[in-house]
Copies of this chain bind each other. A is one copy, B any other.
Amino acid sequence: MTPVQVACCQVRLAVGDVDGNRDLLRRAVEAAAAAGARIIVLPELANSGYVFTDAAEARSLAERIDGPTVSGWNELARRLDVLLVGGFCELDADGRVRNSAVVVDATGVRAVYRKAHLWDREKFVFTPGDAAPAVVDTAYGRIAVMICYDLEFAEWIRLASLRGAQLLCAPVNWPQLPRPEGERPSEIVRVQAAAATNRVFIAVADRAGDERGVGWVGGTVIVDPDGWPLRDLVLGREATVTATLDLDVARDKHISEHNDVHADRRPELYTALTRTHIEDFHD
């Protein structure tokens, strides 16, 4: 495969303003495509915003998969011939509210993923997903999708990587937390480690600005399979981060003459990871 330009749009969304957010995302996608991007990643809950006052507000903003947001992304993907990964507040077929992400290309919706690891008060708003990270074969290579707090579970990234993902696209809304002077945001450190230990590219789209008193890290970043950010960080500000990636690099899991990050695993020794009761670990 030839290298592909990936863009992650760190936009300043407004909670509750679904029409305004849709317009703003459309313009960001059009600009990224015009600049050469073929894979474009948008933040988590990009239609609705994140800091809901309650579950009812989230439900009032949730959209069906055939609602205006994903329909609009379908139209954009077709018109611009791009692959879009974006997060949205979903009302699923059973009437449950989900923190979801879609993969959309010129042929339509390729995957819907529902966040499996919910952050803080999301637990009162969303029904968590019960499916593995979405992994999709695309014109550019094999792409996985997960959302924000999912990234902190190394198990989840490993599953995507073992299924052959070369690029992991992650819509996020990273809330700002204190960190020591001179330190990079810890969310980015974790993404670097995840990329390096799995030999995958990871493209994260975060938010700019703040929302109802929550500041966003603005940690949008594209990390290579060695775990290095490919561009200077754009912490907090509106920006589209782009990089041209040779995704074939992520098919090779070697890190030395005799090491391979997949083959070196000892899965027969990892069985306890699937124990469902934490108490079982304690003596």
Contact = CB atoms under 8 A, between A and B. Distances in A.
Contact of A121 (B117, B186, B258): B258
B152 A154 contact: no
A111 to B, nearest CB: 14
Interface string A36-74: 000000000000000000000000000000000000000
A257 interface: yes
A273 B274 contact: yes
A227 to B, nearest CB: 5
Given A155-B265, A259-B120, A228 B270 contact: no
Contacts of A214: none
B120 A256 contact: yes
A152 B269 CA distance: 15
A94 interface: no
| Interface residue tally on A, bucketed by range | 35 or more
Interface of A: 116-121, 123, 128, 130-132, 137, 149, 152-155, 158-159, 162-164, 179-180, 183, 186, 189-190, 192-194, 196-197, 226-228, 256-259, 261-276, 278, 281-283
A147 to B, nearest CB: 13
A154 B276 CA distance: 18
A152 B118 CA distance: 26
A136 to B, nearest CB: 11
A275 B267 contact: yes
